[in-house]
Structure formats: structure tokens, C-alpha cells
Structure 1
């Protein structure tokens, strides 16, 4: 049985309305129902309310200090394998089940979105999908490869389009077969007493560790990959002729790099916009199946 989030357990009191319940019931933006429950359960946790305000300034101070260290240290010094072992250990032992589930989902969703664009492009484009089934899979440089995949895809896609004199355009019947719910169960995530840390606090703490154990170039590339949200959103919107949904994006203007100090907050927005794009594509897939007289299906 799925645990009922606190904001859903007590009903609605008109004299003291619950803001989390209001956001859960709102249907103005596309988001999978189970994802919304998990996201708001994590966001309304005591960790998010009382730990994050202390973690965020501490983490941003570390980013400044580590940047000074990076100026003095050898520029190519990196410990990617150690970084990912630390991240996996932290996820396994300290992060809330909802946050772990959302993090693992993100790799699947990002891979599906890139495959959607590739399948509906007028030129062939190679992708490198990431499909973790457990936290231990993160140990294989998964966060770093996720960032590399995004940049490599944008370069390969646009180089192929230029070489062939083509451009992305609206596809009347797009291929949406790759858009599925990842085979990850929230119930399978670690749920011990020490698994208390919410998603945003975790990301804020991960960010300076990421900076310290990677080269300055790797860290800069990773943080600025967040501004490709609008780029990927434009690709999907062009294929679907649905540019009005770009209003959901918050990480914009890829030609204007932003400070790494806000990388943790922007990464949270990146995760949410990816979930919303995936939900939007899932709805389009279901509409396509209904119009063709088929029953909408999804992965377990």
C-alpha cells in the first residue's frame, strides 16, 4: 500500500487551507499523478522546511571556497568514480524514498525525450539511453554521462541537420512509442529512519561535492547544461507544434551562462520541467492511440 502524504490525510479545512493540497488538486500543468504525490510529499517534508534553509547557504559558501581551490589545483584533477560512489552512498543512506525515486526516474525520462526527438528528426541521430534500475547503477558515472549525453545529442543533431540542409519541423503523426513510465517502484526505494533528506536539500549538498571531485570544465559544463532545457523544449515543441507549453520552462537563455551558485535550485527546476514534458508527451501518445482506436498502454 502506498503511504498517504500528510497533505492528503486530513482533508480540506476552509479556515486553514493546505497549500500543498491546493497544488496537488490543481490540474493546470501536466504532471503524472504519482509523480505529483511524491514531489509534493517531498516538498512538504520537515527536511525541506527546516534543513534546506541551513543547507543552501552552507553549500553555496562551499562552492565559492572550492572554486578558489580549483584555481590553485591542477585543472585536470578529477575523481569521477569516487564522486559517483559518494552520491550512490548518500542516496542509499540519507535521501527520502520520494527523492531517490524522482532522481532515478530522471535518467529514464531524459533518455526518452532525446529518443523522441531523434526518432522524429529528418536525419538519423544516435542516442545513449540511461536506464538505471537501482541506486547502485548510479555508481557507473551516471550523472556525468547524463550531462555528456545532452551536449553530444545537441551537437550530433544539429551537425547532421546542417550537413543535410534540413531542419526540425512539425510532424503530423510523431513516433511516441518510446514514451513510457520507467519500471521503477517508489516502494522499492530505501525507507529507513535515516532516509530523511528531501530532494532540494540533497541537490544543494551534492552540488559542491560534484564541483570538488570533477574538473572545473566538467562542473561548468554540468551546471550550464541546465540552460539547454529551453533548447530541448523548442525541439519537442517544433515537432509537436506546441510552443505555448514553453511557458513551463524556467531554465532559459542558453547563450547567457549563469552563476554556478544557483545550480542546485536550477537543477530542481530542470527535474520538474522534464517530468512535465514527459507527462505532456504521454498525454499526446494516449490521444494518438485513442484516435487510432487503440487502448492507451504504458510500461509497468
Structure 2
């Protein structure tokens, strides 16, 4: 029944949506594509989302303005995580929840790959944020998700442009391939909100329950996407990776304007980079294969 229903929805999609379902020009796993297309199928996304997104965008800028005033700062990380997890558990659609859980895994893998293959990174703690349930996000929190990114960049220090490594020389020690069967979402009838509508509410909670510096850092952390792409591109000899990054120029700090799109494009970026690296990992020469011969490769 569920398969026939999914097929029926797919056949009702517009010509453009049917086209992008098969467009693999950018590297992205089919699981992520199907989840996103199902999220686009959500009728509330096209009716309720524009109104809620406008309301929450106005509210966000009001909170942002108040938090920037010379007033005592406060934060409530535990309350923030509890509210987000409660909201995800009861109101966020299954597809959107799975996309959120995938994002933890994709970014953790990308950062760990960068650390594993960076020079003089042996003493740096790797990122261990791989929740498989909504409750798991209570510990592997969104706040920690941002802070781990900043910690890793600071501990890696100044980047020295690296020579590309041969495929068999790349280090995949802390890479954890995504298994969709490992994600567990308890179904509820009230889980109806799409990904973007849910994020519109989350961004207001973040702005309210973080200090102004914490929130400013969180929404500007997306701009490190370009830096990550440049570094990994050098490591694997593929400078085109930088083209995948929508968020760029981390020295230029921005406010909450256009935050929803920037957040969404950050999610796409990590999916692209994860899929590209996973394809590279699966196609790497096996240990039992013939050793790489530079002379033969040149010929």
C-alpha cells in the first residue's frame, strides 16, 4: 500500500520535479533525494509554510535586535535541545526528521575525513555526533554540532596547502557510512510539518536561547563550507568541490537575513560532499589489488 501511494504521488509531480529526481550531475545519494522530494510533496509546505515563515522571520529579527542591545546575556542550551526534540518528536514529518539525522552524520563524516587526512592532526579529537534517534539529538545537540566545527578548525590551525593524496593513501579511519535502516523515528499522526517550516521555528528558539555571540557564530558557521571544500579539494586533487559551497567568505559576518536559504544550502552542501567522498571511498583500490604504478598511469 505504501509503495503504491508513493508511486502515485511521484506521478503527480511536476515535470521539473520529475526531472530533478533523476539529475545526478551533483553528487547526492538517492536516499537524500527521495526524502527531499517527499518533503516537497507535503501540501502544508506550499500553503502553511509561506505564512509561518514570514511570521517567524519577523519574530527572528525582533529577537535578534533585542539580543543585540546592551543587556545581560543568557542562554539555556538544555531547554533549547529539549524543546527542539519535543517538537521533532510530535510535529516534524518523518522525512524532515530523517534529513536532520542525516545532516549530523554527513557533516561529522566530512569533518572527520578532513581531520584524518590533515597534516599533524593526530592529537585532535574527532567529531562523534552520529545520533540515530530524536532522543539521541538531546546529547548530540545542535549547539555541540556548531561548537565541534569551530573547535576542529581552531585545533587544525593555519592550513598549509596540501598536495593531493593518492586514493589508497587517504585515511577513512573515522568515516561511518550512513545506514538509513539505523535511523528510528516513532510515527505519530501529528508529524506533519515540512523541513523548512520546522526550521523557521527552530531559528527563533536558537536566537532566543543562545547568547548573541553564540547565535551570531552559529549562523556564520555556514560560511566555513567554502573553506572545508577548498581543503578537501586539495587533499583529493579535485578543486571543483569549492563550486558546491553556496555559503562562502567566512570573514564576512552576516545577520539572520536569508537564513532559511543559507541553512538549507548548507545541508545540501554536506550531502553533496558526503556523497562525493563516499563514492571515492567505495571506488578506492583494494589492499589486494595491484599496487599503483605511476609510470603506467602516466601512459
TM beyond 0.5: yes
Q: Confirm or deny: 8 A CA contact 1:223 1:263 kept in the other structure.
A: yes
Q: What residue is the counterpart of 1:250 in the other structure?
A: 246
Aligned residues: 286
Q: Confirm or deny: 8 A CA contact 2:52 2:200 kept in the other structure.
A: yes
Query: 164, 174, 177: which one pairs with 1:170?
Result: 164
1:133 partner SS: coil
Tell me by how many angstroms 1:28 deviates: 0.9
2:85 partner SS: helix
User: Counterparts in 2 of 1:38-117, with a 5 A limit?
Assistant: 38-72=35-69, 74-117=71-114
Q: Confirm or deny: 8 A CA contact 1:63 1:261 kept in the other structure.
A: no
Q: Confirm or deny: 8 A CA contact 2:132 2:184 kept in the other structure.
A: no
Q: Which runs of 5+ in 2 are unaligned?
A: 291-299
Q: Confirm or deny: 8 A CA contact 1:55 1:201 kept in the other structure.
A: yes
Tell me by how many angstroms 1:238 deviates: 0.9
Q: Which runs of 5+ in 1 are unaligned?
A: 295-300
1:95 partner SS: coil
1:87-142, Cα deviation, whole Å (9 max, x unpaired): 00010001111110111121122111111111111112332321112101222361
Question: Is the alpha carbon distance of 1:97 and 1:11 closer, same or farther for their aligned partners in structure 2, counting shifts above 3 Å?
Answer: closer
TM-score when normalising by structure 2: 0.87
User: Counterparts in 2 of 1:1-300, with a 5 A limit?
Assistant: 3=3, 6=6, 8-9=7-8, 17-72=14-69, 74-124=71-121, 125-140=124-139, 142-159=141-158, 166-173=160-167, 174-185=170-181, 188-289=184-285, 293=289
1:180-226, Cα deviation, whole Å (9 max, x unpaired): 43344387323322101111111111101110011111100100001
Measure the CA separation in 2 of the matches of 1:10 and 1:262: 30
TM-score when normalising by structure 1: 0.87
What is the RMSD of the two structures over their aligned residues, measured on CA atoms?
A: 2.5
2:227 partner SS: helix
Question: Is the alpha carbon distance of 1:4 and 1:143 closer, same or farther for their aligned partners in structure 2, counting shifts above 3 Å?
Answer: farther
